[in-house]
Amino acid sequence: MLLSDMKEGETGIIVRIGGNGALRRRILEMGLIKNAEVYVEKYAPLKDPIELIVKGYHLSLRVNEASQITVEKTGVFVERQ
C-alpha cells in the first residue's frame, strides 16, 4: 500500500522508497528509510500535505511525495489516556 493511501491514525512500516534523484535523496535524508515505522497523524483540510510521525518527530509531506513510498500497514494506533 502507498503511504498516500493510509488514513489518519494508521501506522505502517516502510517497505520501499520509490522515485529517483533529488526527491529520493530528500526523502531518505528526512528519516524515511526502509523498516522505519510511520504514523499518519493527520491530513491538512484540503488533503495535502500529510502530517506524519517518524522516529519521534513530526514531518509533513506532499501527497505526491508520499505516493512514492510503499508501506506495510501494521494497524491503527490507539492513544492511551
Alpha helices in the chain (DSSP H): 21-29, 63-66
pLDDT tens, 12-66? 999 999 888 888 898 888 889 999 999 999 999 988 899 999 988 999 999 999 9
What CATH number was assigned to the domain covering residues 3-76? 2.30.30.90
| pLDDT value at residue 52 | 94
Residue 60 in grid coordinates? 509533513
Break the chain into its structural domains and give their ranges: 3-76
Q: List the beta strands (DSSP E) in 1-81.
A: 10-17, 37-43, 50-54, 57-61, 69-76
- pLDDT (tens digit per residue) in 68-80: 999 999 877 655 4
